Amino acid sequence: MAKGTELKIKRKITSREKNEFLWGWAFILPTMIGLIVLNIYPIIKTIYESFFKTGDFGKGNIFIGLANYQRVLTDPEVWQSLLNTFKYAIVEVPFSIIIALVLAVLLNRKMKGRAAYRTIFFLPMVAAPAAIAMVWRWLFNSEFGLLNNVFGTSINWISNPNIAVYSIGVIGVWSIIGYNMVLFLSGLQEIPKDYYEASNIDGASGIYQFFHITVPLLSPTIFFVTVTRVIGALQVFDLIFMVMDRNNPALSKTQSLVYLFYQYSFVQNNKGLGSTIVVVLLAIIMIITVFQMKAQKKWVYYN
């Protein structure tokens, strides 16, 4: 054998390795098919339809290039819906995270009825959105609602264009607190007790422990909850659809981008314009998520 040459030996694959390879693909195949059919294909289809003008029932598609995007970027209704979406997110995301974190810290301690309290706070997550909307519409009723009766006011909570979107944001906070709380509880239980015991010996107060031990060590969970809640808030639809009716004077000040997508795609049968709105929303979510991923390096501690 000449110097410098390499001896290449091909190892024969055994039948056991072949079986493991085939079984591995068999196990992941259903997930891959679901991912392609339910996620990847709809994304490609949506981007494709955004370049077309669609007729009734999806017929008569006409390629119009970037005309839909030009219309979306110059449509005042789209910008108003985007502003409404951000208003809702500003209310829902921070308040749901802060309240859920405080509740998780309180319910992580040993106390009587802890399991019952956890169940009560999580119940809104398993309640039907239609039932939630109906209950809150009665609570916000300007004439017979519980809130106005308790505070002795006559505020139009969901028909006043100036406050309607914030009222819906309150519903969003109430409905998602339980889910965030469970995530925070799981994160709190992973924090070693040694840190708290050592700080107690040094005479640290509960507030000091919360900001210097709990929050830093829980920051990965806080980051995960923040990212998922921002994405969820920017896609809000069901609460607005069920709480606000079409004759509500505050609808234009509360409809989100996803609600506007529904109007264009399924009410006006303009799926091309609706697809464009979804693509724009997807781009906004991606930009915000990338910013969050880069910003996490400054405040998230994984060690």
- Same-domain status, 47 and 25: yes
User: Is the distance from CB of 244 to CB of 269 less than 8 angstroms?
Assistant: no
Tell me the pLDDT tens digit for each residue of 75-119.
Answer: 999 999 999 999 999 999 999 999 999 999 988 887 777 778 778
- Same-domain status, 54 and 80: no
Domain that holds residue 196: 70-298
Is 152 inside a domain boundary?
Answer: yes
Is 9 inside a domain boundary?
Answer: no
Is 133 inside a domain boundary?
Answer: yes
- Which of 49-53, 99-103, 181-185 has the least mean pLDDT? 49-53
pLDDT of residue 8: 54
Tell me the pLDDT tens digit for each residue of 122-154.
Answer: 888 788 778 888 889 889 988 888 888 888 888
Is 6 inside a domain boundary?
Answer: no
- Same-domain status, 173 and 266: yes
Higher pLDDT, 2 or 114: 114
DSSP notation for 116-166: HHHHHHHHHHHS-HHHHHHHHHHHT-TTT-HHHHHHT----TTT-TTTHHH
Domain count, the chain: 2
pTM: 0.86
- Same-domain status, 170 and 282: yes
- Same-domain status, 47 and 188: no
Strands 62-63 and 52-53, how do they pair?
A: antiparallel
Length of the chain: 303
List helix spans (H) across 15-108.
15-35, 41-49, 67-74, 76-107
